[in-house]
Structure 1
Amino acid sequence: MNDQALLRDKTKPAEDDRPVKLLCKDVWKVFGDGAKAFLSKHNGAPTSEDLNKAKLVGAVRQASLEVRRGENFIVMGLSGSGKSTLVRCLSRLIEPTWGTIELDGINLLKASPDELIEIRRHRMGMVFQHFALLPHLTVLENIAFPLSVQGVDRKTREERARKVIDLVGLDGREQFYPRELSGGQQQRVGIARSLAVEPEIWFLDEPFSALDPLIRREMQSELLRLQSVLKKTIVFITHDFDEAIRLADRVAIMKDGEIIQTGTPEELVLHPATDYVAEFTRDVQRAKVMSAARLMRPVLSSVEYGGTVKATDKVSTFSARIVGVRKNFLVTAADGRSVGEVTPDDVIDLLADRDQRQEAQA
């Protein structure tokens, strides 16, 4: 695509050519007697009225998503939206009532109990809000524990445990017990334990929600650092949109068991599909989600630039600099080509719109 085509098409998300790692199609989790027969009768597409008449509860309703290899995929929603139930269906910790779930083309719903155990032990990692560390085991022993369940010999499992201890920054605490650690350190142990099995896909269900705000932000930074090194496929559950903005490649928003919109944080904020998504994202600072590519204008050759930013950089990361120097910034593509420019006035207008919306809501 040439530079002008990029400018014309800058509101369109870039195609992601990474292969699909996890596929979820038309998945239901319905609680109540005869739920499976009920869904079969309605061909996997009952209405809310149908569910109510049958006195069934649809915790997850016809959920479909694709998670690509190496993607940070966030599933979010308020309490009771079905997000935690969905992630447990994806790993078959609870049995879906209907639908298709595939990991690298393997239908997990047709896997035998033994096959599923092997997949969970060797290909999946899981971290939950409650650390669930074994109090009588040291940090080293807690992290090595899933490897001992796999039958890995002691020397090998301790060597691997020490590697992930180094990776998550717990050096020197190998012989500490959980009670001797802070909340953030305990969560690092939980993360290290899930990484010890070298999973291909990583499920994290609100892993930081019980932490204090400062520690929570520290753990978000740690997750981003680990992902930059490990390139895992991540499915992360949260109810916090600020957390989603910081961590996500894409976000799926759930309400009443349904996925109502999936997209990048930028797409969700700028192009909400429903009133609910618009309300959900109303207080989000646009500068946090809008990229330079979205705000840029065509390049003017006579302009003296005050700096350079990448097309993918969020406006919030350079807003202070561009307003401070009062000069346009050049926007470059991943290969270094000049594709546009951002002006201080456009950045100020974007920030001012945020202030105006806050005043209107007051």
Structure 2
Amino acid sequence: MTTKMLSSQHVEQIKASAPVLAEKGEAITTRFYEQMFEAHPELLNIFNHRNQKQGTQPKALMQTLYAAAVNIENLESLLPTVKKIAHKHVALQVVPEQYPIVGHYLLKAMKEELGEAASDELLEAWGEAYEIVADIFIDAEKELYQETKDQPGGWNGFRPFVVDGITKESEGITSFYFKPEDGETLPTFSPGQYITLRVLLPDDQYTHLRHYSLSDAPDKDHFRISVKREASPDYPDGEISNFLHDQLNVGDQISISAPAGVFTADVNADDPIVLLGAGIGQTPLISMAKGALEANPERNIDFVYTTKNEENHALLEEMNVLNDQYENFRPHVRYTETDAHVDKELLHTIIEENDGQKFFLCGPGTFTADMKDILEQDLGISEERIEREMFKPFV
């Protein structure tokens, strides 16, 4: 954690501004992004264009600002969030020189949106607070960049890969296999991590970056992702997934940054695990299952999964192979045409049969929230035993 400290006066000013951020935070962050991109359009090569259009990126930044204001006296409490965002930033190749740009336009947007409430003293306090938070991120990211580069087969930046294989897994989900163009080795990764693809669409001025969970075990000669087609080819919000499905071919080159992410399972541990997934949320979970069983064939794993029907069940064959190979791998599949749901009776049975597990939840936000509530409130599972991943933007 940084050694810089805010004065007690600045701390009080920032804490007092928390209610205003709750009220006007989204307006501030929306204006911030608009003005920053107008002055620095090159940053559109990093930020997710879809999240800008849908407003999810401003909302994510607003929530981070509000959390900083509320916890300004105890920034250590934000470290888990800092770590997660730092991994995203390293995957996107964010550099320290970009932080002053963000700070300038953030304070500018605050001043314009808050009007008379934005006193010189408040802006000065937030300026200092931003520098402290920026330093925390820069230090964390510097360490991650070094670790990523120094590991065997590791690299920084975007490395050219070649598409080595494409497999249609189910209705709407396709797996893509990538090998390094230079033929050199790949680094290992922790099951649950993702890679970031850099895509330049035809007739588009700026690149698009997308995170995709690795869906195979580590220590192979390839990376594999399994991608859900979002909407239809003429629906702009699904343009990258549709590009991959419709235009990416075996032999094509694509640029990829090194594996990152904190939603991971320790494959060398012995404790039993329960993997809870819905829809495309199973991709990091199948990687966890395969990685854990390859490292420790005796490890107990319950794989609870729900999707609409068998036609939408991607990687079903791999689940069946694991079921045939390992007596201690237990799949629990539910096909539901309505909202993804797993009943608590099933979870209660799993817990009774194998107490002491750690739980990994991945899927739509509503699914992971419901599962977390059932585990904690109905079944008495402590928060420390639950890891949860949702597909949503981070600032």
Q: TM-score if structure 2 supplies the norm length?
A: 0.25
Higher relative contact order (CA 8 A, sep 6+): 1
Give the structure with the larger helix fraction. 2
Q: TM-score if structure 1 supplies the norm length?
A: 0.26
For the pair shown, the structure with the greater C-alpha radius of gyration is 1
